[in-house]
């Protein structure tokens, strides 16, 4: 299963029909403040948690796909396959404890690596301090070689993500729908003059 979609756009074509430049846009769950997926779930499996994240309660989900149909970003996936092997005789330590294998027939989505957030929160509580910027590194952020993904506390004005949100290049995907997504993007700035490139 994948929880992030990477959209690909061609920015014009040359005389041979080849794209001049291809740009990519990763699209995870937007974690909307006014999430349209939460309104239609008949069992309340998609809810906001105390930290303000839009989470998926997998053991409550019955797979109606209403949330996917109501999501304008189309970032939810239906688990068609049985990823967990019920007849497996391997001992439990052989499994990755950071990954919860969901049963077939539930909706999957990006939860901003909730396990990593919880682990960092517990470690900060052990040290008697609040979470600091950089304590939580999501999987997509850790695997991005260009460091194009930032994650942090929007309530902390000194955090990297709060400063990026205030930048003039910051924009929300499908902002006209008023879902108020927490995930936002930085506009790509290029120089169209080939002589200066």
Averaged pLDDT, 55-83: 88
Residues 172-179, mean pLDDT to the nearest whole number: 94
Q: Which residues contact 31 (CB under 8 A, 6 or more apart)?
A: 52, 53, 54, 112, 181, 182, 183
Give the pLDDT confidence score for residue 44 in this predicted structure: 92
**pLDDT tens-place string over residues 76-95:** 888 887 666 666 666 666 66
| Predicted confidence (pLDDT) per residue in 5-59, tens digit | 889 988 777 888 787 788 888 899 999 999 999 999 999 999 998 888 899 888 8
Q: pLDDT value at position 99?
A: 63
Report d(CA 15, CA 17) in Å as an integer: 5
Residue 196 predicted with pLDDT over 70:
no
Q: Of 57 and 196, which is predicted with more confidence?
A: 57
pLDDT at 50: 84
Q: How far is CA 37 from CA 42, 105, 110, 162, 168, in A?
A: 10, 17, 13, 25, 29
> In this predicted structure, what is the pLDDT of residue 20?
79
Model's pTM, two decimal places? 0.80
The pLDDT value given to residue 190: 78
Q: Where do the domains of the chain lie, and which CATH numbers do they carry?
A: 5-84+96-190 (3.30.70.20)
Tokens at 118, concatenated = 């919880």
Average per-residue pLDDT in the chain?
86
pLDDT at residue 84 in the model: 61
Instruction: Between 168 and 87, name the one with better pLDDT.
Output: 168
């Amino acid at each position: 299963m994948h929880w992030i979609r990477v959209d690909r756009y061609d920015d014009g074509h040359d005389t041979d029909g080849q794209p001049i430049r291809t740009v990519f846009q990763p699209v995870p769950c937007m974690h909307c403040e006014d999430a349209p997926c939460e309104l239609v779930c008949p069992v309340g499996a998609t809810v906001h948690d105390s930290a303000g994240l839009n989470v998926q309660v997998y053991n409550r989900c019955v797979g109606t796909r209403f949330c996917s149909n109501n999501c304008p970003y189309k970032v939810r996936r239906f688990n068609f396959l049985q990823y967990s092997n019920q007849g497996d005789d391997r001992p439990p330590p052989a499994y990755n404890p950071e990954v919860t294998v969901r049963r077939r027939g539930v909706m999957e989505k990006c939860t901003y690596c909730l396990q990593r957030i919880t682990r960092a929160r517990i470690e900060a509580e052990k040290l008697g301090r609040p979470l600091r910027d950089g304590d939580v590194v999501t999987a997509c952020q850790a695997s991005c070689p260009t460091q194009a993904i930032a994650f942090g506390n929007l309530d902390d004005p000194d955090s990297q993500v709060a400063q990026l949100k205030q930048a003039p290049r910051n924009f929300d995907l499908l902002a006209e729908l008023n879902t108020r997504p927490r995930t936002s993007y930085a506009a790509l700035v290029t120089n169209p003059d080939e002589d200066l490139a």
